[in-house]
Amino acid sequence: MQQQRLPQELLQASTSERVTFFVNYTMAHPHLIQAFNEVMQSVYQAPGISLIFVVGATGVGKTTLLRRLEQKLTEKALPELKHNQGKVPVIGLEAKAPEFSQFDWKDFYIRLLKVLNEPLIEKKINYGQSCSKWRSAVESALIHRSPDAFYIDEAHHLAMLPSGRKLKDQPETLKSLANLTQVKIIPTGTYDLLPLIDLGDQLCRRSKTIHFQRYHADNSQEAKAFKSVVQTFSQYLPLPQQPDLLSNWEFLYERSLGCVGILKDWLSVTLNDVLESDRNARTITLSDLQRHALGVRQCLVMLKSISIGEQQLQESSEDLLKLQKDLKLIPLSHGTAQEKHSQSKKKQKNPKKQIAQTSPRRYPLKKEESEKEEKETDFFHSL
């Protein structure tokens, strides 16, 4: 099947150009659109929100989300940039993993000042200077540049601390920075970011958590959406013959765990290998995909971490019932009756059999036993 979406000159281009084309291609799929819309709404329509946490599985597409966010925020700020040339619509920074289990705020502030194009920053750098002075310089730069949003990629590195006692200090520092500069801060990361969320009443009130979800095969609508993603990717692979990825969608789902980012990286590596081996290769086969797929053990390790994170973000009926009881929205006795009812249902579903307990059976009554004995006696007498 010939591809109609791609220009013919692209199919004649070099291997690096064709691979770069596919790597740079992004597609809007339902979960990406939902997360993006929630972030945009929080940036522009939620005045009481200072921190916007975006969490999701590794490889779910958070980097694509941030690129799309940067593009849209810049487009919306274009009219203002004509009058305020010093404004930077959006800034982004990746949080470095600490080398000694202690996040380095001083290094974070220095790199942030470079991103903000602070003039003569190289001459101002004095690594012996206290962290509070770097913090003051960052506050001044943010106020002057007045970005609409400041996103932090790999923000789960903020939670890497030698002790849990200082864990609350990390989001409090970000919240304070957001409040003083009137800039929305968007920490983005994997489920390892969850320990920094909801660590106090002020953080709960001033923050919002957006769950960028993967696709689940047990949901028919999500499975359909994932198949659509697979089909679209197959149409944009710069090959003479469109590969039949859709017939192998279950294998693609299995080794990508329903994460679009993992799937795209997998297809990019496979495409590069196929074209490097034969520049005139016509398509990608199942054996090519199998050669570059994640191993089963790797998938199991990743799925375990993802499942734990997804479970932590789910709101249980028990938590809702406790909230209603604490707010006196329902009588305490009613809540207790509901709990007993749910517990009895659980016991009925999983009945525990006592050790050495006989199975239920019908025992004869004494009257029946005596009648039986009389009949047996009459029978023997007749003999």
CB atoms near residue 208 (< 10 Å): 20
Q: Are residues 226 and 158 in the same domain?
A: no
pLDDT of residue 199: 80
Residue 87 contacts residue 80 (beta carbons within 8 Å): yes
pLDDT at 335: 53
Residue 122 lies in a domain: yes
At 302, is the secondary structure helix, strand, or coil? helix
Residues 36 and 177 in one domain: yes
The pLDDT score that the predictor gives to residue 168 is: 83
195, 273: one domain: no
CATH of the domain at 65: 3.40.50.300
Q: What is the pLDDT of residue 2?
A: 43
The answer to whether residues 46 and 194 belong to one domain is yes
Query: Distance of CA 352 to CAs 357, 361, 362, Å?
Result: 11, 18, 21
Whether residue 371 is contained in a domain is answered as: no
What pLDDT, on the 0 to 100 scale, is given for residue 287?
95
Of 189, 212, 235, the residue at which a domain comes to its end is 212
End of a domain among 169, 193, 212?
A: 212
Based on the fold, state whether residues 205 and 68 are members of the same structural domain.
yes
User: Quick one: 173 and 284 in the same domain?
Assistant: no
What's the pLDDT score for residue 122? Answer: 63
pLDDT digit of tens for each residue in the chain (383 aa)?
Answer: 444 568 888 988 999 999 999 999 998 999 999 999 999 999 998 888 999 999 999 999 999 999 999 999 999 999 998 888 889 999 999 999 888 778 889 889 989 998 988 776 666 656 566 788 889 989 999 999 999 999 999 999 998 876 666 788 888 999 999 999 999 999 999 999 998 888 888 888 889 999 999 999 999 999 999 999 999 999 999 999 999 999 999 999 999 999 999 999 999 999 999 999 998 899 999 999 999 999 999 999 999 999 999 999 988 888 888 888 888 888 765 555 555 555 655 555 555 555 555 556 555 555 555 555 555 545 444 44
**Domain boundary at 193, 212, 231, which?**
212
Q: Is residue 320 part of a domain?
A: no
> What's residue 203's pLDDT?
83
Nearest to 183, CA basis, from 134, 132, 144, 133: 144
The predicted structure's pLDDT at residue 334: 58
The predicted structure's pLDDT at residue 166: 77
- Let me know whether 113 and 15 are in one domain: no
Same domain? For 68 and 203 the reply is: yes
Residue 90's H or E segment, with its range, is strand 90-94
Please check whether residues 265 and 151 belong to one and the same domain: no
Query: Is 379 domain-assigned?
Result: no
Closest by CA position to 181, among listed 148, 205, 207, 153: 148
Residue 346 lies in a domain: no
Rounded to the nearest 5°, which phi and psi values hold at 189? -175, -175
The domain in which residue 262 lies consists of: 8-26+216-313
Q: Are residues 154 and 205 in the same domain?
A: yes
Tell me: do 238 and 104 sit in the same domain.
Answer: no
In a shared domain, residues 309 and 275: yes
| Residue at 143 is within a domain | yes
**Can you tell me the distance from the alpha carbon of 26 to that of 153, in angstroms, rounded to the nearest whole number?**
19
Q: Is 259 within the bounds of a domain? A: yes
Domain count, the chain: 2
Question: Is residue 353 assigned to a domain?
Answer: no
